[in-house]
Structure 1
Amino acid sequence: MREIAGTSNLNRQVAEVLREAIGSGELRPGELYSVSRLADRLGVSRTPVREALLGLADMGLVRIERNRGFRVVRRDPRHIAEVFHLRLLLEVPAARLAAHHADQALLDALRHELAQMRAAAADHDEPRFMHHDRAFHELVLGSCGNALLTATVANLRATITTVGASTADQTRSLADIAAEHEPVLTALAAADPDAAAEAMHHHIVHTGELLLAQVSAENDAPVAASDAELLRGASTG
């Protein structure tokens, strides 16, 4: 767990460090942690730690136990399934629509983001990779001319990122993730709506299925049939 740098915005800094520790698994789900010991470890008082934990509790990441400490909440497979089901319902039709009017500027921008993803993958730089991954999807969504659509998907992605769920370099490599974007770009360049929808559907379902299996394993349980069915339930039509 990295140390706190400086004294400004302590609550925000502590919350960021805790989110990173939760995402990396350094703070393990279900284990009881002491606020005072954590404060000592970070070199800050207990007040900013408590304030940061209240915010994380509101986000559903931790559960505070009065006079005892806090526990990291186990990641919920159903939440993963619901988020990816919504992404399918929004991003697959968006890819289909984008294929009808993808111009050279959009295609060039998508090629740039994919090239940057590959470069970041070669450097094993996950934060940089995910920045360009998000940018690729936002370009496709943005081409539909609906700012609310783009913002909604960004929020859905953020709910997954916030709880630290990621397949990157766990169940697949960054290069593998980048490769799943190539068929989307190829279909858009060919102005093929069906192929664009199918490629986006495959990418999102694959990501969701890997995360669902990963989080279910963390909870020592098989993937629930209802969760798997929900995730795959949105068609490409």
Structure 2
Amino acid sequence: MKQDTQGSAATGGAATGRDRFRVPAQPAAQDAARACEEVRDRWRGRPGDTGGGAVRGEHTHGEPAPSRPRPVVRRSSVRGQILTALRTALVTGDLRPGEVYSAPVLAERFGVSATPVREAMQQLALEGAVEVVPNRGFRVVERGARELAELAEVRALIEVPVMLRLARTVPPERWAELRPLAEATVRAASSGCRAAYAESDRAFHGAVLRLAGNEELVRIAEDLHRRAQWPLVGSVPGARGRAELVADAHEHTALLDALVAGDLDVVRALVGEHFTGAA
């Protein structure tokens, strides 16, 4: 929520304020989709592979992975790359709720040692995405519709008042600076890759909330947002279609149009609708 101490940042009076909220360059939809599919290939098997589907279930612990080409992972940031890949697999549903995954077997798929995979999974455990199963690996947490609804409610309680307050105080030119992020969500949604859209969606919401100048608020909201993107138990990977993602993304551009125009009634309606359908 915007604080009284942020007047200069909201109006662009301080030189550092504009730098703080500079919009980063956004990847093209094709790039986002390609990155998503490269990760999914590691679970489904590349064309021509005989290995088949995802590593999953109790039998995976200590079992050698099916023979397949190993993806190239740059050694400069192995843990970070593995964490990103696992987060993508969570969002796409390729890491299935309720199933146990072995760090050594996952490491074989990525062509790395088990250590960075185990470290990445430990981070996911801290975030609540998986739980440690002693001597077996990591179980993906099972979530139901009620938990998803509760997360959406909490997000709305946090973000809606902030957006409405910012709508009354942030000048149109500052909202216009967020246009590339809003358009990036549409490109990512058009790619059909849920993980790419999830990343761009978080980037847009985070940029809006950063205008309030409260990094703790941004951190909490991002954590809730990430958790809301994990699939439900029994859900079908990719069930949320391209059209639904694109419709959701266009709510960002419509919201930005209303913010630039200073139309608070439209902002209020769009924000409420957006969080009602958040997932």
Question: Given the two structures, how large is their TM-score scaled by the length of structure 2?
Answer: 0.59
Conserved? CA contact 1:92–1:198, under 8 Å? no
Conserved? CA contact 1:57–1:63, under 8 Å? yes
Task: Indicate the residue corresponding to 1:175 in structure 2.
Answer: 246
Instruction: Please give the residue correspondences for 1:152-167 in structure 2 after superposition, counting only pairs within 5 Å.
Output: 152-161=220-229, 163=230
Matched to 1:170, the amino acid is R
Q: Does 1:18 align with 2:86?
A: yes
Taking a change above 3 Å as real, the CA distance of residues 168 and 107 of structure 1, as seen in their structure-2 partners, is: farther
Distance in 1 (alpha carbons) for counterparts of 2:118 and 2:216:
34
Task: Indicate the residue corresponding to 1:191 in structure 2.
Answer: 262
Distance in 1 (alpha carbons) for counterparts of 2:116 and 2:253:
44
Instruction: Please give the residue correspondences for 1:146-157 in structure 2 after superposition, counting only pairs within 5 Å.
Output: 146-157=214-225
Task: Indicate the residue corresponding to 1:200 in structure 2.
Answer: 271
Structure 1 runs of 4+ off > 6 angstroms? 165-169
Stretch deviating more after TM superposition (54-63 or 121-130): 121-130
Task: Indicate the residue corresponding to 2:164 in structure 1.
Answer: 96
Instruction: Please give the residue correspondences for 1:47-196 in structure 2 after superposition, counting only pairs within 5 Å.
Output: 47-124=115-192, 129-130=197-198, 132-161=200-229, 163=230, 170-171=240-241, 172-196=243-267
Match of 2:111 among 14, 35, 43: 43
Q: Residue deviations 1:30-67, cap 9 Å, x none?
A: 23344443333333334444343333333332233333
Taking a change above 3 Å as real, the CA distance of residues 146 and 29 of structure 1, as seen in their structure-2 partners, is: closer
Instruction: Please give the residue correspondences for 1:213-232 in structure 2 after superposition, counting only pairs within 5 Å.
Output: none
Task: Indicate the residue corresponding to 1:226 in structure 2.
Answer: none
Distance in 1 (alpha carbons) for counterparts of 2:137 and 2:196:
34
Conserved? CA contact 2:130–2:141, under 8 Å? yes
Conserved? CA contact 2:83–2:121, under 8 Å? yes
Aligned length: 207
| Structure 2, gaps ≥5 residues long | 1-41, 43-69
Distance in 2 (alpha carbons) for counterparts of 1:98 and 1:88:
15
- Secondary structure of 1:28's match? coil
- The alpha carbon displacement at 1:93 in A equals 1.7
Conserved? CA contact 1:34–1:70, under 8 Å? yes
Matched to 2:269, the amino acid is E
Conserved? CA contact 2:258–2:267, under 8 Å? yes
Q: Residue deviations 1:72-113, cap 9 Å, x none?
A: 221344442332222211222223222323423123224443
Q: What's the % identity of the aligned pairs?
A: 36
Aligned CA RMSD, in angstroms, stands at: 3.5
- The alpha carbon displacement at 1:127 in A equals 5.8
| Structure 1, gaps ≥5 residues long | 212-237
Q: Residue deviations 1:187-225, cap 9 Å, x none?
A: 323423333122101101112xxx3xxxxxxxxxxxxxx
Question: Given the two structures, how large is their TM-score scaled by the length of structure 1?
Answer: 0.67
